[in-house]
Amino acid sequence: MFLTESAAGILAHSTALFADSIDMLGDAIVYGFSLYVIGRGLVWQARAALLKGIIMAAFGVGVLVQVALKIAQGLTPTVEVMGAVGTLAFVANLACLALLWRRRGDDINMRSAWICSRNDVIGNAAVLVAAGAVAVTGSPWPDIVIGLLVATVFGRSAVQVLRDASRAVTASG
């Protein structure tokens, strides 16, 4: 999904879609790391969560850079591409969220993976809202605003995960 969404975001000139694709890349990394640390003990799980938080923060900064470029260029995104790819990503992420729902409270590892999936669903819904607003207004600003909101979600989630991970690292010695 990352490749599909990032290519679509670039071709459609959509900050919101590109931001969501970056989130997809983060999820692939997070899920892989989450699977790797299952059963490895609290220190590994805490360190994995710490890495996830750092990745979320870095992606938030990356989206802010993309927003700045979008403002400088002022291109209106292609609504049809945003809507089609955004819908596909929304369905894929809802499936992931459903799979993680029962395990979200098991440990810090599963909690951080669930937070990432929750962010994806929020991001996908935001892309669809942006597509609709761009279609109605003919302006790139709804896309830019949604891109900024996605960056904010990344930032807040990064702080939340980093806080939890720091506590877990300290507690695990």
**Run means of pLDDT, 10 residues per run, the chain, 173 residues:** 88 86 80 81 82 86 88 91 94 90 80 81 90 96 90 86 86 75
Q: What is the pTM of this model?
A: 0.75
Separation CA 166–CA 130 (nearest Å) = 35
Separation CA 22–CA 3 (nearest Å) = 9
Domain ranges in the chain are 2-172
- Three-state secondary-structure class, residue 106: coil
Give residue 29's pLDDT: 81
Give residue 94's pLDDT: 93
Give residue 169's pLDDT: 81
Alpha helices (H) along 74-140: 79-100, 108-137
Give residue 1's pLDDT: 80
Give residue 161's pLDDT: 84
